[in-house]
Amino acid sequence: MFWVLQDRFFDPHAFAELRRQLDAQAAPHAVVRVNARTLEVDPPVGPEGAVFVCGSSTLGRVAKARGWWPGYVDDNLDYRLLAHHYGGHLLNADAACVPLDEASPPAGPVFVRPVGDGKQFAGRRRRYPDGLKVVEINAIGSSAFYAADIGRFVAAIEAMVRYPA
Instruction: Give SS3 for 34.
Output: strand
Nearest partner of 150 among 11, 7, 9, 1, judged by Cα: 11
pLDDT in tens, 46-105: 999 999 999 888 999 999 999 998 888 766 667 787 777 777 777 677 878 887 778 777
Q: Which residue has the higher pLDDT, 133 or 17?
A: 17
- CB 34, CB 55: distance < 8 Å: yes
Both 115 and 59 in a single domain?
no
Range of the domain at 120: 79-140
Domain count, the chain: 2
Cβ pair 71, 51 in contact under 8 A: yes
Residues 65 and 113 in one domain: no
